[in-house]
Amino acid sequence: MASTDTKTKILDTAERLFAQKGFDAVSLRNIVEAAKVNLAAVHYHFGSKQALLHAVVSRRLRPVNDERLAMLAEARIKAGKRKLKLEAVLESLFVPVFRAQASHKSGGSFTRLIGRVVFDRNAELQKFMVGELAQVIIQFSRAFDEALPGLDKTEMDWRSHFMAGAMAHTLCNADLLASFTGTDAGAEGYETTVQRLVDFTAAGFRAKVFTHPKKQKSS
Amino acid sequence: MASTDTKTKILDTAERLFAQKGFDAVSLRNIVEAAKVNLAAVHYHFGSKQALLHAVVSRRLRPVNDERLAMLAEARIKAGKRKLKLEAVLESLFVPVFRAQASHKSGGSFTRLIGRVVFDRNAELQKFMVGELAQVIIQFSRAFDEALPGLDKTEMDWRSHFMAGAMAHTLCNADLLASFTGTDAGAEGYETTVQRLVDFTAAGFRAKVFTHPKKQKSS
DNA sequence: GGATGTTTCAAACAGTCGTTTGAATAAATG
DNA sequence: CATTTATTCAAACGACTGTTTGAAACATCC
């Protein structure tokens, strides 16, 4: 099975390079040169550069999303009849993706890629991601509602949005933390980083709601 | 002064297209076609595509940063001998950039561009941005320390990082909010959005600090 | 062994990219 | 007016892009 070997080499190399430089900035020739495989192998195994990106993303994201849903289900069981705990929901969302960085030998390139994907405006990738994330969004949206009963829907949407931004930025641009502040993001285990992120976002979700003025309808 | 006209047309068009599709995804030919100017005009007025990007960014970012520093200085005066208020610091950071969207007729493309710039890993742009933001980072870093005395430096760095992520995501991907949740980000004035973001991030900054275990040194 | 299907490879395809050139035009200056 | 300077323009440069081709090399099975 030399094919599997080539396929994996392409996936690993593409993952690393996409994470480092972005999708558009990396050419197939960059990839095949680094992976030491033939140029045409990419199209033979994946069909197109876009399809390669999808394969790279889903290879890592699918198990992460499965684990997210599993952790959330377990949190529900643990809560029993009691209210779902916000921190448990957030941990279910964060832990799998942050652990994937530490566990796999990919050297953290995967999380940068996932973070980057959120901010990349590749239209095809966007559609692909919505499909990959559909179940996660549905389930966690419901879980947040349960953990924060009574929070206005619009406010909930915005806060989820802020939370997603903090998460994506942490995944994607951990190196910026070091360059701007001098704090080394890699100095501590992923558990500590997740703990910090949970603390921050949970407090944000629970913030006292400012009463926003109704939008003046002029028509 | 037809030159100024051409120069401005290029800047406006490049700003819009870069914001929509990203730096790499937009070619100079896309820009000059939309701006209805000659291809060589870009190099005549700006020197290179990279330099054009820098010009696009700094044209908007410089006044925004000036206003940020001015608002922060005013907040200091208002506080007098009292402790600087966290919300005032955050507002000084958010208001100018969010207002720039509403005020200028660019149709919000500028804020998306600024948000995108944070997440783009264009190495040259990164260096450029560090220079443009240097004063802002120094001043606001100090302000956060004053507003939150006693907060551990590492924790402060991380929370600033989370805050920057929430801000950048809100600026860059406001449309995702609509596509994922159905909430229309443009339905309310920028003041309300800023208020929501201030509430969320201020609560995050003030969250009870979890006592992180010391990193086990194995050597 | 020969035939069949899978995987690799060098070479080329048709475009697009950022950039440069040198002449043509417009504006400003004497 | 002529002359110098600033700006526009069409055309081309070489390099790079994703993709395709068809023949080799390899593995598998009858």
A185 within 8 A of A177, measured Cβ to Cβ? yes
Binary contact (B169, A173; C-beta < 8 A)? no
Contact B189, B108 (CB under 8 A): no
Residue identified by tokens 């006592």 is B211
Q: Do the beta carbons of residue B25 and residue B116 sit within 8 Å?
A: no
HEC string of B128-169? Answer: HHHHHHHHHHHHHHHHHHHHCCCCCHHHHHHHHHHHHHHHHH
| DSSP single-letter state for residue A47 | S
CB contact under 8 A, A196 and B202: no
Provide mean pLDDT across the span A21-35: 94
Using an 8 Å CB-CB cutoff, list chain A residues near B209. 199
Binding residues for strand C (Cβ < 7 Å): A 1-3, 5-6, 37-41, 44-45; B 1-2, 26-30, 39-40, 42-43, 48-50
Cα dist from A56 to A2, A95, B16, B32, whole Å = 19, 20, 30, 35
CA of B77 vs chain A CAs: smallest distance (Å): 26
Predicted local confidence at residue A187, as pLDDT: 76
- The residues, ordered by sequence, that sit 6+ positions from A188 with a Cβ below 8 Å of its Cβ are B212, B215
- Report the footprint of strand D: residues with C-beta closer than 7 angstroms: A 1-2, 26-30, 39-40, 42-43, 48-50; B 1-3, 5-6, 37-41, 44-45
CA distance A104 to A92: 19
A179·B24 Cβ contact <8 A: no
Instruction: Return the structure tokens found at A202.
Output: 């949970």
The per-residue pLDDT for B4 is 63
Considering only alpha carbons, which residue of chain A is nearest residue B165? A166
Asked if the model's pLDDT at residue A141 lies above 80, the reply is yes
Cα–Cα distance for residue pair B105/B114, rounded to 1 Å: 16
- Contact by Cβ (8 Å): A46, A10: yes
Residue A4, CA atoms < 13 Å, CB-side half-sphere: 1
Task: Give me the pLDDT at residue B107, please.
Answer: 64
Per-residue pLDDT of A150-195, as tens digits, reads: 999 999 999 999 999 999 999 888 888 887 788 887 778 899 999 9
pLDDT at residue A219, rounded to an integer: 36
Q: According to the model, what pLDDT value does residue A4 have? A: 64
Q: Residue A131: its pLDDT value, please?
A: 92
User: CA nearest B119: which of B15, B7, B19?
Assistant: B19
What pLDDT was estimated at residue B188? 84
pLDDT value, residue B198? 98
Question: In this model, does residue A106 exceed pLDDT 70?
Answer: no
What does the block give as tokens for B142? 């100090």
pLDDT of residue B217: 43
| Token digits of residue A99 | 């652990």
pLDDT at B51: 96
Question: What backbone torsions phi and psi does residue B198 show, to the nearest 5 degrees?
Answer: -65, -45
Q: Which residue of chain A has the CA closest to B172? A: A119
How far: A38 CA to C11 C1' (Å)?
12
- For residues A59 and B192, give the distance between their C-alpha atoms in angstroms, rounded to a whole number: 39
Nearest to A121 among B22, B157, B201 (CB): B22
Q: Cβ distance A10 to A43 under 8 Å?
A: no
Q: What is the pLDDT along chain B (219 residues), one digit of tens a residue?
A: 444 689 999 999 999 999 888 899 999 999 999 999 999 999 999 999 999 999 999 999 999 999 999 999 999 999 999 999 999 999 999 999 999 877 766 667 788 888 777 777 788 888 899 899 999 999 999 999 999 999 999 999 999 999 999 999 998 888 888 877 888 877 788 999 999 999 999 999 999 987 665 544 443
Residue A173: what residue type? N
Between B136 and A116, residue with greater pLDDT = B136
CB proximity list for A49: less than 8 A, separation 6 or greater: A28, A42
Inter-chain touch A170–B162, beta carbons under 8 Å: yes
Residue A193: HSE in the Cβ half-sphere, 13 Å Cα cutoff: 26
- Nucleotide with the nearest C1' to A46 CA: D19
**Contact assignment for A204 to B203 by CB distance below 8 Å:** yes
- DSSP, res A218: -
Rounded-to-5 percentages of helix, strand, coil across chain A: 75, 0, 25
Q: Walk me through the domains of chain B, giving residue ranges and CATH numbers.
A: 57-205 (1.10.357.10)
